[in-house]
Amino acid sequence: MQQTFQFWHGGRTYNCKVTELDGAASGLWWSFTLGSGSERYLPFRTARGDTQANVQERVIAYHTNFMTKRAAPPPPRNNVGRPPKAKVQQQQAAAAEE
């Protein structure tokens, strides 16, 4: 398997290469950039059976999932503290009717 390759998918050019990291996440990782962008993604480690086709498939799946999550609305935050008085009164009224 070659250490770098490039492919085109969905109107984007993906530049993939093997990157060596130091520290806690040390080892060889597949990284990619989009077109001439400077943002680098390191989605997964290299594996013995890596081929250009299966790495390309994994990169597309990773990036599609990443973009879907980025476009989704943020999860609701938990409200800490007492509920507003109007809500408490509505709940008490509903409980009294039962």
Q: Which residue has better confidence, 10 or 37?
A: 10
Q: What is the pLDDT of residue 23?
A: 81
DSSP assigned state of 77: P
Judge whether residue 12 has pLDDT over 90: yes
Distance CA 62, CA 42 (A): 10
pTM for the model:
0.70
Domain ranges of the chain: 4-71
Under 8 Å between Cβ of 65 and 57: no
Residue 59, classed as helix, strand or coil, is helix
For 44-97, write each residue's pLDDT tens digit. 999 999 999 999 999 999 999 999 999 999 888 877 776 667 766 778 888 877
Q: What is the pLDDT of residue 94?
A: 82
Task: Give the list of residues 6+ apart from residue 34 with CB closer than 8 angstroms, or none.
Answer: 12, 13, 14, 15, 63
